[in-house]
């Protein structure tokens, strides 16, 4: 009950609320993105606490509708603040050609790539872990996982251990380079990833297979904000100076 859980539709010409969708009390609608095709009156909204992505679309009667199209299951864990660790999707990105959708899952630590040939049925085609709270050797043990057979390994790039979880993303216009940072909100960073405060955040590059789908961490790319002159910094949002998938 602390966070909002509704998706609102506004008529901007008359500044009025025309529709309101209750997405459930366990949801936290956080990122809303439309398809880039100007003739496609549809898009997606990711909900942070439930791990659900809804598709919203315009109906023939000029009203809007929503439907659940992705659900990331919670994991049964020990050594954490709750017995179940939900997915916490911070950012949602759609490629310029509307072929792929990307999600950053801050708590579990993975970035997901979904193919959108059927917009009502996104298909998972790529996944890579770049941190998170369920890494092997950490304080959290996963007791039951509907998706993974084992806990992922910690990520080390150029001799630096990467802490935190994936947050904001940005995709190049050609769709081949996905950049990601790993600081969400300093107060929450301190609670869930204290080592991130000491070491500073990073920016990583994920190489994208735009033909068949697939994600790979580029081990030759690392922006280390822990080495900033005034001490470790926490980087969050990303934009290209000459255009990207969200500008």
**Digit-coded pLDDT (tens) for 66-79:** 999 999 999 999 99
- Which pLDDT value is given to residue 174? 93
pTM: predicted TM-score of the whole model, two decimal places: 0.95
Across the range 159-178, mean pLDDT stands at 95
DSSP type of residue 3 = S
Average pLDDT value over all residues in the chain:
94
H-assigned helices in the chain: 186-192, 194-199
Domains and their CATH numbers in the chain:
6-224 (2.130.10.10)
Segment 36-49 shows an average pLDDT of 94
Contact 162, 201 (CB under 8 A): no
pLDDT value at residue 3: 84
Amino acid 1: pLDDT: 64
Report the 10 Å Cβ neighbour count for 103.
27
């Amino acid at each position: 009950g602390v966070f909002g859980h509704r998706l609102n539709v506004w008529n901007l010409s008359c500044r009025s609320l025309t529709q309101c969708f209750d997405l459930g009390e366990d949801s936290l609608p956080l990122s809303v993105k439309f398809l880039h095709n100007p003739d496609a009156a549809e898009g997606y909204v990711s909900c942070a606490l439930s791990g659900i992505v809804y598709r919203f679309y315009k109906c023939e009667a000029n009203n809007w509708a929503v439907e659940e199209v992705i659900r990331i299951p919670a994991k049964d864990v020990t050594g954490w603040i709750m017995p179940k660790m939900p997915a916490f999707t911070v950012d949602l990105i759609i490629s310029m050609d509307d072929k792929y959708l990307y999600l950053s899952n801050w708590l579990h630590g993975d970035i997901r790539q979904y193919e959108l040939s059927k917009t009502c049925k996104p298909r998972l085609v790529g996944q890579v872990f770049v941190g998170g709270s369920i890494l092997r050797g950490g304080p959290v043990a996963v007791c039951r996982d509907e998706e993974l057979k084992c806990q992922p390994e910690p990520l080390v790039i150029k001799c630096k251990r990467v802490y935190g979880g994936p947050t904001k993303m940005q995709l190049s216009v050609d769709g081949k380079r996905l950049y990601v940072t790993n600081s969400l909100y300093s107060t929450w960073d301190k609670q869930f990833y204290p080592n991130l405060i000491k070491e500073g955040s990073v920016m990583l590059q994920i190489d994208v297979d735009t033909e068949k789908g697939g994600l790979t961490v580029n081990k030759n790319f690392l922006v280390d904000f822990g080495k900033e002159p005034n001490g470790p910094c926490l980087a969050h949002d990303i934009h290209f100076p000459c255009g990207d998938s969200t500008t």
